[in-house]
Amino acid sequence: MISKERVDFTGLDFHRGEEILIDKPFGWSSFKVVYEIRHAIGWLKIGHAGTLDPYATGLLILCTGKKTKSISDFQNLEKTYSGTITLGKATPSMDLETEALCEKPFSHISEEQIYLLKEEFTGNIMQVPPMYSAIKQNGKNLYKLARAGKTVERQPREINVSSFNITKVELPDIHFEIICSKGTYLRVIANDFGEKLGCGGVLSSLKRSKIGDYSVDDALSVEVFKERLKKSILN
């Protein structure tokens, strides 16, 4: 495992397979992170264990070479996220990537309502994937259809939210920490949460802090990874 603790990169074998913990920066797609690391290691086979949206930050686990066979093992682990739901608006992407469709008053919402409602989003729940997602339907990515102004019917999927904690309420912002299963869209939770309160809601910030027992605190930035790799090659 290549993490923050590993300073010396000599002896790494990316073809045989390495696992890399990366802290994805804001504004980067997961694909861009994979591209940068793949370029650094010499265009060898590489993949990641769970997409993060460009507006999200946090832990990505990358696997190279023969270790790409382990990607599904990481994908099946529970994920821990912290983030913010902002009430009073709704957007097509359910986050801040797109402009607001509407804005509604939220000042009448009480903390008691918020804490009671979160219980409806805990446990096994059904969730409809968003149009702005990489899911394919009839061979086409949903987000491409969404950007063309099209909407198609999506089937709900069962997900599990094992823990949903409200860490602070500062209306219109609700700060939270969630532990959930593979395939959970936090944007949908934000949107549905706002809909049930009658005022709309968007996911205004998101950070993935853990995948199973692997923590973003142990992850490297892309730049630090490349610097340590370059240093090991020069030595």
Instruction: Find out whether 127 and 156 touch, Cβ atoms under 8 Å.
Output: yes
| In CATH, 79-211 is 3.40.50.11740 | no
- Taking each continuous run of H as one helix and of E as one strand, the counts in the chain are 6, 13
In sequence order, the 6+-apart residues with CB closer than 8 A to the CB of 28 are 54, 222
Residue 175: closest CA among 65, 54, 84: 84
Contact 118, 167 (CB under 8 A): no
Percent of the chain with pLDDT over 70: 100
At 182-215, the pLDDT tens digits run 999 999 999 999 999 999 999 999 999 999 999 9
Q: What is the pLDDT of residue 134?
A: 78
What CATH number should be reported for the domain whose range is 19-76+212-234?
3.30.2350.10
pLDDT over 70 (residue 235): no
Q: Average pLDDT in the 86-107 region?
A: 94
Instruction: Give SS3 for 198.
Output: coil
β-bridge partners, 58: 24, 208
The full set of domain ranges for the chain reads: 19-76+212-234, 79-211
Contact at 8 Å (CB) between 22 and 28? no
Among residues 8, 13, 23, 53, which one is catalytic? 53
- Nearest 5°: CA angle at 34, between 29 and 38? 150
Residue range 12-49, pLDDT digits in tens = 999 999 999 999 999 999 999 999 999 999 999 999 99
Fold agreement between 19-76+212-234 and 79-211:
yes
pLDDT tens per residue, range 154-189: 889 999 999 999 999 999 999 999 999 999 999 999
Q: What is the mean pLDDT of residues 77-81?
A: 98
Does the structure show a pLDDT above 90 at 142?
A: no
Give the model's pLDDT for residue 141. Answer: 81
For residue 220, CA distances in Å to 108, 115, 177, 196 come to 43, 35, 22, 39
Q: Is 13 a catalytic residue?
A: no
Q: Which residues pair with 166 in a beta bridge?
A: 176
